[in-house]
């Protein structure tokens, strides 16, 4: 008896629900047709641009700046003299050492003639040779010290801003100017350890920087660190990109995108079409003016798109806006005047 009464109550509730649905006005929604597309899994990381060759140039010894031979921002060739410190008495000291070396050379030549006539001993010849080599070493030492007062470009590149002036006292090691070779450039970034199996040296990558949001820069992986950081469980990766127009600069923040794994074919929908719940994700499929709830399994996201790995078929019409007022069997009116973004590679628009 109680079972019969329960069935009657359930049937009555179902009839009331259908009646309520029939009395509700149709809800206005926007929709999109789900399509199956090729889906390439990607790995994104953030990195920093750095020059293949870059250095902050400085004099090796202290002294007063005698001349500055460069302009800020100029491209220079390798070996270009950029700055000289005041030589002081270096020239006079070098002349003194050279005179001593000439005398030692003359004494050695004289004693060698006398040795052939057996007028001097072999010990005198050895002493003269030692004096000559000592004088020549002192000349080489002074010349090396004089060279340390000249700052040259160690490689071809572009100079930064000059930060010293003529007549300024310059302590040893003080930066004079930065020199950066801008083509090519490195980009260093980190990837989680679980992604290492999918990376190979020589694989291609795409770089994007905030300064050029609509432009992608091709890069190639050059090296993968053989060590994983024990604290973060991340591994460092280095890629190289050509920079012939010098658009990229060392120190820039860059977003790195790498294609990993095989190409799959998934049904894709805008992220706005997915209703996320604690018990699972669902979409509303429009059929004959009514909606049907469909539980789906979602995969990776790509920009504004989400891959649906199960539950949705190619060509089905999916609700993208207005889901909050929908339930199973709700009547709907489609108005696609406004659509959510469905771009796999969106870029922010600055106003």
Per-residue pLDDT of the chain (351 residues; tens, 9 = 90+): 554 555 555 555 555 555 554 556 888 888 888 888 877 777 888 999 999 898 889 888 888 888 888 888 888 999 899 988 888 887 888 888 888 888 888 888 887 887 777 777 788 777 878 888 888 888 888 888 888 888 899 999 999 888 888 888 988 888 889 999 998 999 999 988 888 888 888 888 889 998 888 888 999 999 999 999 888 889 999 999 998 888 899 989 998 888 776 777 888 888 888 888 888 888 899 888 888 888 988 887 877 788 888 888 888 888 888 888 888 888 888 888 877 776 666 655 554
CB 34, CB 315: distance < 8 Å: yes
d(CA 87, CA 9): 107
Label residue 285 exposed, middle or buried (CB < 10 Å: 0-12, 13-18, 19+). Answer: buried
What's the Cα-to-Cα distance from 143 to each of 81, 94, 148, rounded to whole Å? 16, 8, 9
Q: Which residues contact 76 (CB under 8 A, 6 or more apart)?
A: 70, 82, 153, 156, 157, 158, 159, 179
Neighbours of 170 (CB within 10 A): 22
Convert the pLDDT of each residue in 2-31 to its tens digit.
Answer: 545 555 555 555 555 555 545 568 888 888
Q: Facing residues of 189 across strands?
A: 47, 237
CB 257, CB 287: distance < 8 Å: no
Q: Which residues contact 288 (CB under 8 A, 6 or more apart)?
A: none
Residue 184 preceded by cis peptide, ω within 30: yes
d(CA 282, CA 285): 10
Query: Can you give the pLDDT at residue 7?
Result: 52
d(CA 213, CA 348): 8
Radius of gyration (Cα) for the chain, nearest Å?
A: 39
b (16+ CB within 10 A) / e for 113-151: eeeeeeebeeebeebbeebbeebbebbeebeeebeebbb
Query: Can you give the pLDDT at residue 11?
Result: 55
d(CA 32, CA 312): 13
Q: Which two tokens stand for residue 143?
A: 């010349």
CB 56, CB 178: distance < 8 Å: yes
Q: Which two tokens stand for residue 38?
A: 């090729």
d(CA 43, CA 106): 74
Query: Which residue segments constitute the domains of the chain, with CATH numbers given?
Result: 24-39+264-334 (2.40.420.20), 87-148 (1.10.287)
Q: Which residues contact 7 (CB under 8 A, 6 or more apart)?
A: none
d(CA 58, CA 175): 5
Return the closest-CA partner of residue 311 out of 264, 267, 263, 265.
267
Q: Facing residues of 63 across strands?
A: 170
């Amino acid at each position: 008896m109680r079972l019969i009464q329960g069935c009657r109550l359930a049937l009555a509730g179902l009839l009331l629900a259908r009646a309520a649905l029939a009395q509700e006005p149709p809800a206005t929604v926007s929709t999109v047709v789900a399509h199956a597309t090729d889906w390439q899994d990607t790995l994104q990381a953030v990195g920093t641009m750095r020059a293949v060759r870059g250095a902050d140039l400085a004099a090796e010894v202290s002294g007063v700046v005698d001349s500055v031979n460069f302009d800020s921002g100029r491209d220079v060739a390798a070996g270009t003299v950029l700055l000289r410190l005041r030589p002081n008495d270096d020239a006079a000291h070098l002349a003194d050492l050279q005179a001593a070396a000439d005398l030692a050379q003359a004494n050695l030549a004289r004693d060698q003639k006398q040795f052939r006539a057996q007028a001097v001993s072999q010990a005198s010849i050895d002493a003269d040779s030692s004096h000559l080599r000592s004088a020549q070493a002192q000349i080489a030492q002074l010349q090396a010290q004089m060279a340390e007062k000249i700052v040259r470009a160690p490689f071809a590149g572009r100079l930064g801003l000059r930060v010293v002036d003529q007549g300024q006292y310059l302590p040893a090691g003080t930066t004079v100017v930065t020199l950066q070779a801008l083509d090519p450039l490195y980009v260093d970034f980190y990837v989680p350890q679980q992604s290492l199996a999918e990376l190979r040296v020589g694989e291609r990558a795409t770089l994007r920087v905030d300064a050029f949001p609509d432009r992608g820069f091709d890069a190639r992986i050059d090296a993968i660190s053989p060590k994983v950081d024990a604290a973060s469980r991340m591994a460092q990766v280095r890629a190289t990109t050509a920079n012939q127009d010098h658009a990229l600069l060392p120190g820039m923040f860059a977003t790195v995108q790498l294609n990993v794994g095989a190409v799959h074919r998934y049904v894709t929908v805008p992220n706005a079409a997915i209703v996320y719940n604690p018990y699972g994700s669902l979409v509303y499929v429009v059929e004959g003016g009514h909606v049907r709830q469909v539980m789906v399994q979602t995969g990776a996201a790509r920009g504004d798109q989400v891959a649906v790995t199960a539950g949705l078929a190619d060509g089905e019409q999916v609700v993208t806006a207005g889901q909050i007022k929908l339930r199973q069997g709700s009547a709907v009116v489609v108005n696609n005047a406004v659509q959510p973004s469905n771009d796999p590679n969106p870029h922010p628009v600055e106003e």
